[in-house]
A and B are shown apart, each in its own frame.
Chain A
Amino acid sequence: MLRELLLDAPGKKVLLLGNEAFARGALEANVQVAAAYPGTPSSEIMEALAAVAEEAGIYAEWSINEKVAFEVAYAAAVAGLRSLCSMKHVGVNVASDALMVANYAGVEGGMVIISADDPAGHSSQNEQDNRMFAKFAEIPCLEPATPQEAKDSVVIACELSEKCKLPVMVRSLTRLSHVRGDVELGPLPKEKKRPNLRRDITYTGFPAPDHHKLLHDRLMNIEEDLERVPFNKVEAKGGEKVGIVACGVGYNYAKEAIKLLKLREDDVAILKLGVPYPLPKKLVSSFLRSYDRIYVVEDGFPFMEEQLKILCYDLQIRPTILGKLTGHLPMEGEIDPEKVVVGLARVLGIDYKVPEIKVRGDIELPRRTLSMCAGCAHLATFYAIKQAVRREMKGDPRKTSIVCGDIGCYGLGLFHPYNMFNTHICMGASIGCANGFAQTGINQPVIAYLGESTFFHAGMPPLLNAVYNGANVKVVVQDNITTAMTGHQPNPAVGYTAMGKPAPIVLVEDVAKAFKVPFVRVVDAYKVDELIETIREAIRTPGPAMIVARRLCAELARRQARRKGIQIVPPTIDKMKCNGCKYCITQLLCPALIWREEERKADIDPLLCVGCRVCNQICPQKAITGGNGVADL
């Protein structure tokens, strides 16, 4: 796919992931500086750009967090270049501090913020709709519907941004960012711009009321342009009484619903809206005037629906507006063809039943919850934390630890069967919350748990806070030398940049020492006893403590072992010694450890096992021995 990104062949059709299409759009738009922090479903935008950046003559970076990414892109745009920053929806929360003044201050070159929202929270902790952020910041928002429009949206957003001198948001969704489709390539620019910066009070955001007025004037300036954005289009104006207003990806479901109801293409009118904020008022008003009933199809909050209702009030017209607020689509979760067709059938008064899914015969389908990877060092650390607390508490069942989780693969520790965490809210909040728990005077060990990328992103300020305020927190950093959850992006601990250039390695423990954390230890995460003893020692030592449990991500380790010619040989389970206690399976929960019901013994799946030898160390019967693989790296 990366070859296609640089293909200078206008008119050629290629298969691109939505996120790759955004990246191609950035190249076609002549974006010269791009920055991001990884986060599903946004990561592949910067991954793709970084992979071709050098050849394309642009700059791309993985910033340490979204606020920094925003600021990097913002500064480039102030210097007159076109720039882009991309992030997942919750990333915009982090960047918002800068965004809420950058809108007042304005830009010279076109600046695009891609917000990849995740309705249904496939890989997120909430469902926030960042069109609200565009409205909050009073900046234009585009919402493409297809990979083709994803590509085109970056070009259009840059042009709009340069015209109104405001950053422009492009809202993506999981069902666009992670959808592959055919995309027709446009031309690539031939010439780069040179940065040009003058010192101007405009870029400072002061004085606020003047600049707020300026912001409003700038938005007014592009009113007509927003009407003409090609993602807005009216289809089938026929004489029917029902019109659909479909925003972004919702348009695809609306079209599918019409097919599923076996309606003719022109039976129902559709206004496809690609600009959810500010509304292209002329286009929308004329559509609203033409229909008695309006069905609003959108993912996320009832954002369009509310705006349409307000617009109708101003226009003094009273069509019936149906959507999320009227129960014609659910208020939570992601929309899909079934939800949209059921809503449309109700609007049209058609009888439609969603096919019923039934298993015939006496068969029960067991659930398959997500699990950590086989050989993941986080598993060893989960185990070690539990053991350390148990042993320190000497079996007193009333006494347990408080464990504050964080955002990363280890977020799975939240769920059954791990049940690791008391709190789990946002990046860096493990240490932040631990600070608070420790200061309540609670008589339990307070443990914060996070990865190294999360530590650099938002864990450093709360760690320093703990030192400065003397919070008795025990921080376990699961350092797997990559940002694993989002696809192995490098971070300051890794030693190279997004564009593959060598970079200085910044170790988590060095930061902790510089912050004057009194207790700092580094342990090999696969050495279980040492890890348990170190955590116990940390619990017994008053004051802030940090334990860095380090091991390369098991997925990367498997690849590295293969490259180095290390054969992965799973450990052997001595079937005479295994008494079927299941300790290894229930306590470690490594997916490579399987249960043979017929012989009532544990076994190891040779295709999943990576040879970490952690199970060897924990088997109470000492029945698991030998094996090699990633432990030998």
Chain B
Amino acid sequence: MQTSKRDEITVAIAGVGGQGTLVASQIIGHAAVKRGFSVRISETFGMSQRGGPVVSHIRIAKNVYSPLIPLMTADVVVGFEPLEALRAALKFLVRGGSVIVNTRVIYPVEVNRGDAKYPKLDKILEALRSLTSDVVTLDATSLAIKAGNPIATNIVMLGALAALDKLPLEPEDLREAVKERVPREVEVNLMAFDLGFKAIREKRQ
């Protein structure tokens, strides 16, 4: 399902509970409503997802119906954690879509206990590349630390998404939305956004 990139888009943000996927999706949605789009963002939150896998379903169009992304129809999967990026891409990515992956690993409790093995990072990336040729990676957590707070990993990823140029929004719309939605530590967040943006722009040129 190829959609015109400028007026209809579906994005899945995948990560581990507590990584800030919720805030990131809210920022995108806020910017999209300001641009006059109809928006649906679906996520499960509360204690129930703490430490577990989370996927934010973001749908932007003239008319949106289902708040959940139908299987294999997301134009972009943004993975805050490699394993969760793959899990979500398998389920939601439209074949040939785009994937952005933060390379910093968070081990599931099962792996620490020795009940399961965490796949090697290059295996995960290889599996992602079997789904699409458009896979970009970045160490978003290190960039967030560089910006001043590891919590800003989500904003780094947002900057990276803006650099993909797939949203029907300008990067400046998102920067504005960051300022409005996360009024605390604006400087740190804007720097995080720019670092993520640059990391992907440089790779794409």
- List, sorted by A's number, 17 A–B pairs whose CB atoms are closer than 8 Å: A40-B47, A178-B42, A182-B38, A251-B65, A256-B65, A337-B70, A359-B90, A366-B108, A366-B117, A368-B84, A373-B18, A373-B50, A485-B46, A586-B113, A591-B109, A591-B112, A595-B111
Instruction: Report B139-157 CB contacts with A as 1/0, cut-off 8 Å.
Output: 0010000000010000000
With A361-B130, A364-B117, A366-B117 known as contacts, the answer to whether A585 contacts B45 (CB < 8 A) is no
Number of B interface residues at 8 Å Cβ cutoff, please give it: 64
Contacts of B71 in A (CB 8 A): 337-338, 354-355, 357
Q: Is A260 within 8 A of B70, CB to CB?
A: yes
Q: Does A336 contact B (CB under 8 A)?
A: yes
Contacts of B42 in A (CB 8 A): 175, 178-180
Nearest residue, chain B, Cβ from A484: B47
> Which of B29, B70, B123 contacts A256 (CB under 8 A)?
B70
Q: Is A371 within 8 A of B130, CB to CB?
A: no
Contacts of B40 in A (CB 8 A): 179-181
> Which of A123, A255, A371, A589 contacts B66 (CB under 8 A)?
A255
Give B contacts to A, CB under 8 Å: 16-18, 25-26, 29-30, 32-33, 36-53, 64-72, 83-84, 86-87, 90-91, 106-119, 123-124, 126-127, 130-131, 141, 150
> Which of B41, B72, B109 contacts A371 (CB under 8 A)?
B109
Q: Is A370 within 8 A of B130, CB to CB?
A: no
Q: Is B51 within 8 A of A337, CB to CB?
A: no
Pick from B65, B72, B116, B131 the residue with the most CB of A within 10 Å: B65
**Given A122-B44, A484-B47, A594-B107, 15 more contacts at CB 8 Å?**
A43-B46, A123-B46, A123-B47, A179-B41, A181-B39, A251-B65, A336-B68, A361-B123, A365-B119, A366-B119, A368-B51, A368-B53, A369-B51, A371-B51, A485-B47
Q: Which 7 A-B pairs give the minimum distances between C-beta atoms?
A: A366-B116, A40-B46, A123-B48, A371-B51, A256-B66, A370-B52, A368-B108
Contacts of A594 in B (CB 8 A): 107, 112
Contacts of A369 in B (CB 8 A): 51-52, 108-110
Instruction: Report A338-372 CB contacts with B as 1/0, cut-off 8 Å.
Output: 10010000000000001101111101111111111
Contacts of A14 in B (CB 8 A): 33
Contacts of B107 in A (CB 8 A): 594-595, 605
Q: Does A576 contact B (CB under 8 A)?
A: no
For residue B150, give the distance in angstroms from its CB to the closest CB of chain A.
5
In the docked arrangement, what's the CA distance between A486 and B45, Å? 9
Q: Does A252 contact B (CB under 8 A)?
A: yes
For residue B82, give the distance in angstroms from its CB to the closest CB of chain A.
11
With A372-B50, A373-B51, A485-B47 known as contacts, the answer to whether A259 contacts B65 (CB < 8 A) is yes
Q: Does A13 contact B (CB under 8 A)?
A: yes
For residue B178, give the distance in angstroms from its CB to the closest CB of chain A.
14
Contacts of B48 in A (CB 8 A): 40, 122-123, 370
Q: Is B50 within 8 A of A371, CB to CB?
A: yes
Q: Is B84 within 8 A of A359, CB to CB?
A: no
Q: Does A430 contact B (CB under 8 A)?
A: no
Contacts of B86 in A (CB 8 A): 359, 363, 365
> Which of B25, B67, B114, B126 contacts A582 (CB under 8 A)?
B114
Contacts of B41 in A (CB 8 A): 179-181
In the docked arrangement, what's the CA distance between A14 and B31, Å? 10
Contacts of B141 in A (CB 8 A): 607
For residue A346, give the distance in angstroms from its CB to the closest CB of chain B.
17
Nearest residue, chain B, Cβ from A124: B48
For residue A393, give the distance in angstroms from its CB to the closest CB of chain B.
24
In the docked arrangement, what's the CA distance between A14 and B38, Å? 10
Pick from B17, B72, B107 the residue with the most CB of A within 10 Å: B107
Contacts of B87 in A (CB 8 A): 365
With A256-B66, A361-B126, A366-B116 known as contacts, the answer to whether A41 contacts B46 (CB < 8 A) is yes
In the docked arrangement, what's the CA distance between A486 and B69, Å? 25
